[in-house]
Amino acid sequence: MPSRNLTRLPSSFAMYPKVLANSFKKKNLSALPNLTLTLNATSIDRKHLAAYNTVCGFTQSDILPATYLHMLVMPLQMALMVEEDFPFPMLGLVHIANKITQYRPVNACEKVNVSCRFGELKPHDKGQQFTLLAEVYVGNELIWAEETIYLFRQATASNSEAKPESEKAKTAIPAFNALWTIPADTGRRYAAVSGDSNPIHLYNTTAKLFGFPRAIAHGMWTKAKCLSMYEGRLPNAFVLDVQFKLPVLLPAKVGFQSTVNSKVETHFAVFDAKSGKPHVAGMIKSL
């Protein structure tokens, strides 16, 4: 697979004009770009780490939260998706799942090597889904990996027929371990540290342009917030796997639920506190 080595982390903000331009181009491509982006000997900015920890609810530490290295991966993902031969408009994509594997704790003093590439493209009952794969090394040691799945919505035979109201199950209100009140500016605060300034996360007015009644929280902020609930109780090596369900409309009041399923597995979920509708379902599995 061809590889392109970057000398610095791409600016997500600088790529947004290309995101917009590519989103309105007619594309007839059926394959993902065959390219790996790499970024070597990257230092962790401690001020940025501190800002991330504050926004996501972590305590201040030189040990990186398992979700933090996504901050280095996300700009590479974005750079791949603004390639001319990327087949989908970025503004039409839905983040449906994210799986992080931490092989050991990472210290902010360590320099890391980051790589990112496309994985599998396959049909989904609501369109097409594709995977982005990332790996982070210290020297030759693999310390962290991520699988991110996006959905491009398309009309298909399986989703063209809506279920009658009588067939829709009513949602029961689950029991919660904690209630979170999520402020209206959460999307803007997370965008400031992550560089993910997608308009759907920023203001109600910009979110409405893309069909949302209000701004919505970033899925990766919600995942990080869930992880923060387990600080001090996590193993050194684990898998953190989540599926994103319904968007969190801001401001929001949500319930967090955690269940220990075995000695190695803990399941968690986030629901709307009033309706009980699901936002996130996830699992932490010790390695």
pLDDT in tens, 133-157: 999 999 999 999 999 999 988 766 5
- Mean pLDDT for 72-90 is 92
**pLDDT band per the 50, 70, 90 thresholds, residue 262:** confident
The mean predicted confidence, pLDDT, of the chain is 91
- Mean pLDDT for 205-215 is 92
Structural domain spans, the chain: 1-155, 175-287
C-beta atoms surrounding 173 within 10 Å: 13
Interatomic CA distance for residues 145 and 234, integer angstroms: 17
Q: Identify whether the C-beta of residue 64 lies closer than 8 Å to the C-beta of residue 102.
A: no
Q: Is the pLDDT of residue 80 over 70?
A: yes
Is 175-287 in the same CATH topology as 1-155? yes
- Mean pLDDT for 212-224 is 96
Interatomic CA distance for residues 117 and 92, integer angstroms: 20
Which residues pair with residue 252 across a beta bridge? 182
**pLDDT band per the 50, 70, 90 thresholds, residue 92:** confident
Q: What is the dihedral of CA 71, 191, 21, 38, to 10 degrees?
A: -10
Interatomic CA distance for residues 147 and 246, integer angstroms: 20
pLDDT in tens, 21-30: 777 776 666 7
Q: Percent of the chain scored above 90 by pLDDT?
A: 74
pLDDT at 156: 62
CATH number of 175-287: 3.10.129.10
- Residue 232 CB-half CA count within 13 A: 4
**pLDDT band per the 50, 70, 90 thresholds, residue 119:** very high
Eight-state DSSP code of residue 78? H
Q: Percent of the chain scored above 70 by pLDDT?
A: 92
Residue 110 or residue 211, greater confidence:
110
DSSP letter string over 188-227?
A: HHHHHHH----GGGT-HHHHHTTT-SS-B--HHHHHHHHH
- Mean pLDDT for 25-40 is 85
pLDDT at 265: 94
Residue 40 or residue 261, greater confidence:
40
Please give the structure tokens belonging to residue 171. 């949602």
pLDDT at 159: 54
pLDDT at 14: 84
pLDDT at 235: 96
Peptide bond into 251 cis (omega under 30): yes
Question: Measured between alpha carbons, how far apart are the two ends of the chain, in Å?
Answer: 30
Assess if CATH 3.20.20.80 describes domain 1-155.
Answer: no
pLDDT at 166: 44
pLDDT at 57: 97
pLDDT at 90: 84
**pLDDT band per the 50, 70, 90 thresholds, residue 181:** very high
Q: Is the pLDDT of residue 203 over 50?
A: yes
- Mean pLDDT for 229-255 is 97
Contacts of 140 (CB under 8 A, 6+ apart): none
pLDDT at 107: 98
